Amino acid sequence: MARPRKYPPAPPADDLDNDDRPEEHEPVLEELDDGQLVTLALDRPLMKLTPAMVRALNLAWREYVLADDDEAKMLCRRIKSRLGRASHGELHPGCVMVKLNVPVLKRQDGRGGFWYVKINERVYAGDVEVTECTARQIVELVHRYQQVEANRMTEGQEHLIDLDGGLAERARAIQRA
């Protein structure tokens, strides 16, 4: 003999009478201003954020973060928390997944070790599939590393820059005068 159900079974769909329930009025998001969008986003945490809501939350956070009162600080914490719980698709709609080959970063002169591209403690190396915005950040980090390596001074290369060049010219002009 089985244990009785904890919850009663749901009634069939045809037994539900929609006339007995009051109609819930859903606001049309296009008609709301930024303040109303912020209130709506904060009051309904399970509702998916639209691009207009994300923009309104960002603008409100920028406005209130400089305020010194407790209410503004509380609102900033709520906005930050709401944006932190938002999915990547809500924050960046239309961002697609791309495949990327991330190189291991090494010094060109053979001295030293090797490094991996790391974003928020997540390591990216080899063939990876990431979102488009993460791929842009990875490519930018690799590019910056390559620029630093190209400008690195080694014993075999003469990349000396005279930092006192401007001072020497001034000193000669003073001596001539």
Does position 55 have pLDDT exceeding 90, yes or no?
Answer: yes
How distant is the alpha carbon of residue 131 from its chain centre? 12
Q: Per-residue confidence at 10, pLDDT binned at 50, 70, 90?
A: confident
Residue 158 has pLDDT above 80, yes or no: no
In the chain, where does DSSP find H-type helix? 34-43, 51-64, 70-85, 88-91, 132-151, 165-176
pLDDT score, position 105: 87
pTM: 0.58
High-pLDDT (> 90) share of the chain, %? 45
Residue 99: pLDDT above 70? yes
pLDDT value, residue 25: 57
pLDDT tens, residue by residue, 61-94: 999 999 989 999 999 999 999 999 999 989 988 8
Distance (Å, rounded) from C-alpha 96 to C-alpha 17? Answer: 42
Structure tokens given for 49: 């954020």
